[in-house]
Amino acid sequence: MKTINKDETSGNPFPPEISLKRPHPNSWSSTEGYYHDRTRTNAAAQRLGRAIDVHRGQQALDIGFGSNLVVAHALRALGMETYGLDPLGQEGARPCAAPIPPRMRGKREGIPVYQGCVEEILHDDSELRDMRFDLLAFWGSWTTGGNNYAIGGGLRRERVLRERPDIAKALLHREDARGAEEALSAAVAASEQGIMRDLSTLLNPGGGILVVSSRYAFHGAGFTASQLPMEKRGYLHLGHLFDGIGAEKLLLFGLSKTAVAAKLSGQPRLSGVGRALCDDATLFSLLEEGELAYSQEAVDAISTMDVPLGRIDALYARF
């Protein structure tokens, strides 16, 4: 897999800033994200679309669009034919109690939308299983610092625990807690890989999967500066996952390690964050409480990627 890194000097379309604010941890606007700012979200989506070279007439699916279709509209402005998929289907709806296959629910703002869960996209009853796309986009919906119902009607951890009652029981009763957590981590990783592998089968030749930080989503439910190492670990692991399912090219957009170090200098409370963002060995030695563990095999593989970015804003895997 060929890896290309885009930092603040070479084509990253996102702001080269790191918010040092300390807002309420549960706030939707927990970072410098585009909180309820359609103009900035739309502009960023168009800039990134051009950076990954989308073309007029291609088809895109906005996965986990939530309460708005800003990204779908931005891609449509670039000439793409766009669709939306979300478990809620429409604003104000309640999350699905169980995963359901995607079904057409009409149009919103002129864009065809489907209600259903991405894990069930290849289900026999899925109305998306026979469609083919050039771009599958998770714009802030793959992982987030706020609410996320794009994956299986809830977060992946909870989804996996519903499927693996043996692990849920072991965690509940604290039976071999370390072994149960390791089993959960492996099951979540397998679930993520399965989702992405299924999605890759819906791509036209040369199509790709885009994952963007929720810091730049409409709700801006991203990660605070102190949580950036956790976000980075997840994105590096995702890059490793894309390699494992046959991606030909991986583009990573972010902020260089040099820029990160400079922006966090003089911030004593974030000195550990700076070290973690600039050194992979430190990065994977500082898992937060409740964070899923990474296998040594995955960490070793990620280290060989030698990514020079301190902060990752988006990944695009082309197949």
- 271-286, pLDDT tens digit by residue? 999 999 999 889 999 8
Which has more confidence, 140 or 76?
A: 76
For the chain, domain boundaries: 2-318
pLDDT score at 217: 85
Burial status of residue 6 (CB atoms within 10 A of its CB: 0-12, 13-18, 19 or more): buried
d(CA 313, CA 295): 23
Mean pLDDT (whole number) for 84-101: 72
154 has pLDDT over 70? no
Half-sphere exposure of 218 (CA within 13 A, CB side): 18
Which has more confidence, 12 or 189?
A: 12
56 has pLDDT over 50? yes
d(CA 211, CA 294): 20
Quick one: pLDDT band at residue 136, thresholds 50, 70, 90?
A: very high
| H helices present in 223-270, as ranges | 228-244, 257-264
126 has pLDDT over 50? yes
Q: What is the pTM of this model?
A: 0.92
CATH 1.10.3720.10 holds for 2-318: no
35 has pLDDT over 90? no
pLDDT score at 299: 93
28 has pLDDT over 50? no
197 has pLDDT over 90? yes
22 has pLDDT over 60? no
d(CA 59, CA 76): 9
Short-list 2, 10, 44, CA closest to 259: 10
Q: Which residues contact 111 (CB under 8 A, 6 or more apart)?
A: 69, 72, 73, 76, 82, 83, 84
